[in-house]
Amino acid sequence: MEIAHPNATIPPLRVGIVGCGKISSNHLAAFEKIENTIVVGVCDVDIARARGVAATWNVDHAVDSVQALLELGLDIVSVCTPHPTHEEVVIVAAAAGVNVLCEKPIAVDLASAQRMVQACEEAGVKLGVLFQRRFWPAAQQLRAAIDDGTLGTPVMGQVSVLLHREPEYYSADAWRGTWANDGGGVLMTQAIHYIDLLQWYLGDIAEVYGTINTYKHGEHIEVEDSAAAVLKFTNGAIATLNASTAANPALGVQIKITGSTGATAELSEFPEGSDGRITIMAVGNTVTSSPAHPQGSEANVDLASINAALVEHHRAQIEQFAQAVGEDLEPAVSGQDATNALRILLAIYASSRTGEPVRFAAVSGQGPVPSDAVISSVLSPTQASC
């Protein structure tokens, strides 16, 4: 039997990209900077677009089907297609024994997300979902402030996602702003990043009460441009969420977590796409861990600039996923983590429709635990079919 030399070079992980839209450039740029990975092919239903991306990034193969991409012999597939198409790609890749890194949201309905998680578990492959803002150094510092006891037990949270989009943002792609092809509005496309952070900090969700509306973009989209919610967690913590793409561009994003020690940590993002900044306010003193936001900055940044500013955080998460594949570790953001974030935002849609809270679990032992089916049972026919 031939024995490999201990210093033998490990073959690089072979990567394929499915979907050659705007966000694919972040994946391509990230993999280009990660040692021991190589993108061997890209795939898009528009073969001309796939060939253009392949030429730009010096990728050898451009194909127009997932099956053709898988035939290149892959270790990892990155899924960068529109939201409702994620499941089909993930299921096929899992069946072929290929690990999957999927853009957020994992899906647009819970049943789809759960099928994806199950398929990957049964196939024994990794499933990771892109929530690159977890990889802000400031976001990691806030998590550490919980783990090391600085905040104590998190008891309250506030999330404010006040962003600005012009009509051209929605008209740039035919699928944007529709229930069938986008799955939702500000909650599904923008706020889900911060919902993920909130549940990462506060834990499992128990109850959601929320409402949605469209104030500015009604002529251009059928989904919400604004939402508000009150969230209860199984550990007894409570939080509020406000989100909009109809706000003044100078407002940005703030996440505040208050703990049982009385300390509060604030994580903020301004302008959109910039690195998160953290301030920890302990009882009796204030510790600022990163620079203050620029004053008077114009935050009406176009999507390409926002995506470009996030490349390094994509790289950090994608590098961790590649390590997880190579060393048989858990992805930093799993398919189940992404399903938990999806559950929260879908519950806001369901609550908005009925005017009633959606309950998932007991708070400190109170009451029964209802099924996830409660969400789909109260969504509108259009939403439920997404």
3-state SS of 42-91 is EECCCHHHHHHHHHHHCCCEEECCHHHHHCCCCCEEEECCCHHHHHHHHH
CA distance 270 to 24: 24
**pLDDT < 70 positions in the chain:** 1-9, 284-303, 307, 362-386
- Counting Cα atoms < 13 Å in the Cβ hemisphere of 278 gives 20
Domain 134-297+336-384 classification at class level? alpha beta
CATH number for the region 13-133 comes to: 3.40.50.720
What pLDDT score does 283 carry?
A: 74
Q: What is the dihedral of CA 241, 245, 248, 254, to 10 degrees?
A: 30
- What are the residue ranges of CATH 3.40.50.720 in the chain? 13-133
* 71 contact partners, CB below 8 Å, separation of at least 6: none
**In this predicted model, what pLDDT tens digit does every residue of 174-214 receive, in sequence order?**
778 889 888 999 999 999 999 999 999 999 999 999 999 99
- What are the residue ranges of CATH 3.30.360.10 in the chain? 134-297+336-384
- Name the pTM for this structure: 0.88
**In this predicted model, what pLDDT tens digit does every residue of 46-105 receive, in sequence order?**
999 999 999 999 999 999 999 999 999 999 999 999 999 999 999 999 999 999 999 999
CA distance 125 to 90: 11
What pLDDT score does 288 carry?
A: 56
What pLDDT score does 305 carry?
A: 73
What pLDDT score does 197 carry?
A: 97
Q: What share of the chain is helix, strand, coil (3-state, %, to 5)?
A: 40, 25, 40
What pLDDT score does 5 carry?
A: 41
What pLDDT score does 282 carry?
A: 84
* 312 contact partners, CB below 8 Å, separation of at least 6: none
In angstroms, how far is CA 169 from the centroid of its own chain? 19
